Amino acid sequence: MTPLRTALPAALLCMLALGGCTTGTSADDRAALARPLTAAEADRAALARFTTYRRGTGDVTMTIPYRGTTVTLTGRVDWRRRLGYAEVGSGGNLTARELIQWNQHTVVALPRWSGGLPEQPPAGGWQPHRITPHASPLDAALLLLMGLGSDRPDNAQLLARSSARWIKDDHIGTTPVTVFAGPGSPGASSDPNKPGNTRYWIDGEGNLLRFSARAAGETSWMTAELAPARAIPVPAPVAELAEAAAAAAP
């Protein structure tokens, strides 16, 4: 994980679900935040993470801008088992690519990988570490992805009263979607000029198709594309991840 384990602005950690960040927004963003959510829109937004969870497993592609380069993650997440599996790399540098598997506490990496994402992960050679989002933009992104599925809907009434905003109607390919801004922190939830630095693209059936998040003061967004169809299963945890999970269990 060496290329990615560098300091990350702490505001990026205000990231889970529709919980947003505490930072302000640019003038352009404030102009785009047209209005609060209607009751129907709040219901739709509140179901998005639950819809993702019910689907179980999904293909994901995520881009993470950082210091002039772009880290790309391609793989799949099982939101019910809280388990992910992906290939990550920086730009076109094949020597910096690696396989990773992770849960909500630990990530294991197989460095210097250039063979794409195999159906089953190789045995041996995995290097585990505790997920530390303050120290690594990749670790922060992994927690973001894991937080996009929930075993229950969010509270629609709280969303409707928060600083969450309807931004616009849009399309992803030919699919109509609505773009929502997540709310800011609970202390700033009543301020329409301080929504969270999170964005959600949700189709008419409640599927979350795209998610973006931005750190404080940054103009670049990390963005995850989620396929609406169920993906093939995420492989069982490799031995190193299973051992770390067992050690972390109460």
- Per DSSP, the residues of the chain read -GGG-S---GGGG--STT---S----HHHHHH--EEPPHHHHHHHHHHHHHHHHH-EEEEEEEEEETTEEEEEEEEEETTTTEEEEEEEETT-GGG-EEEEE-SSEEEEEES--S---SSPPSS--EEEE--TTT-HHHHHHHHHHTT--SS---HHHHHHSS-EEEEEEEETTEEEEEEEPP--GGGTT-TT---SEEEEEETTS-EEEEEE--TT-S--EEEEEEEEEPPPPPPPPHHHHHHHHHH--
185-203 pLDDT tens trace: 554 444 555 567 899 999 9
134-184 pLDDT tens trace: 878 888 899 999 999 999 999 999 999 988 999 999 999 999 999 999 987
CA distance 37 to 99: 40
7-65 pLDDT tens trace: 333 333 333 333 344 334 444 455 455 689 999 999 999 999 999 999 999 999 999 98
Q: Which amino acid is at 110?
A: L
**Residue 213, burial from CB neighbour count under 10 angstroms (0-12, 13-18, 19+):** buried
The full set of domains in the chain, from first to last, is: 2-248 (2.50.20)
Lowest mean pLDDT among 8-22, 85-99, 199-213: 8-22
pLDDT at 196: 73
pLDDT at 12: 30
pLDDT at 110: 94
Written as six digits, the tokens of 127 are: 């290097």
Question: 67 or 116: which carries more pLDDT confidence?
Answer: 116
* Across 240-247, average pLDDT: 88
What is the value of pTM for the model shown? 0.83
pLDDT at 24: 42
pLDDT at 191: 53
pLDDT at 195: 62
Query: Measured between alpha carbons, how far apart are the two ends of the chain, in Å?
Result: 27
* Across 206-222, average pLDDT: 83
Q: Which amino acid is at 118?
A: P
The separation between CA 62 and the C-alpha centre of its own chain, rounded to angstroms, equals 8
Phi, psi (rounded to 5 degrees) for 241: -75, -40
* pLDDT over threshold 80, residue 246: yes
* Across 112-135, average pLDDT: 89
Q: Are 114 and 105 in contact (CB under 8 A)?
A: no
Question: 172 or 5: which carries more pLDDT confidence?
Answer: 172
* Across 112-139, average pLDDT: 89
pLDDT at 68: 76
Q: Are 137 and 220 in contact (CB under 8 A)?
A: no
pLDDT at 6: 36
pLDDT at 16: 34
